[in-house]
Structure 1
Amino acid sequence: MRRVAFAMGVLATALALALTASSTAHAASGRLLVNGNLYSDPSGCYDSQNWPLRVDNRTDQTAVVFAQSGCRGSIIETVPPGGAVISEFGASVQVG
């Protein structure tokens, strides 16, 4: 009986690790253009000190525009794959 309980515990732990590993973020495929700066297969946060914030999302993932640098603060808008936006109050973009 203890062996069965041990085996079930090992199986549950392996399943939990597998689910955690599969939900991690990965780089987007394509290109992201942020105020003239081109990023290939972008992943993470991109700041800009220029306004308005111009985002051209040619990736396979949605880009999220934030009100503050470092992808903090409120979400101003989202840019779907293949979309573009000029955001008057955006300060940073996150994708991937």
Structure 2
Amino acid sequence: MRRIGLVAASVTGAVSLALSPAGPAMAAEGTLTVGLATHTNPSGCYTTNVWPMFVANNTNQVATVFDLPNCQGHAISQVRPNASDIFEFGTSVAIS
């Protein structure tokens, strides 16, 4: 009987953990410059029409560079935290 109670408690705990909502998505901390625009505590996708595209990632997250607007197409590169680069074929940058 004691085993059934232990199993029931374990299952109840696992189910409540699985059904609990995920925490809120956190924006990267710092600044991200894409083209001529600088974004503070960025989150999401940023598109520019400045070529070549300059990216300065002064955040705590990796930024991913895409070859099409709205972070579509191929991911062509990444810019690590506290790094910058220039991309001849970059059009948009995603960061979370």
TM-score range, shorter chain: 0.7 to 0.9
Q: Cα RMSD over matched residues?
A: 2.2
- Matched with 2:18 is 16
Structure 2, unmatched stretches of 5+, are none
Q: TM-score, normalised by structure 2?
A: 0.83
Indicate the structure (1 or 2) with the bigger Cα radius of gyration: 2
Q: Distance in 2 between matches of 1:14 and 1:41?
A: 32
| C-alpha distance after superposition, 1:37-59 (max 9, x if no partner) | 01000000001112111000000
**Higher-strand-fraction structure:** 1
Q: TM-score, normalised by structure 1?
A: 0.83
| C-alpha distance after superposition, 1:29-77 (max 9, x if no partner) | 0000111101000000001112111000000000000111111111110
Structure 1, unmatched stretches of 5+, are none
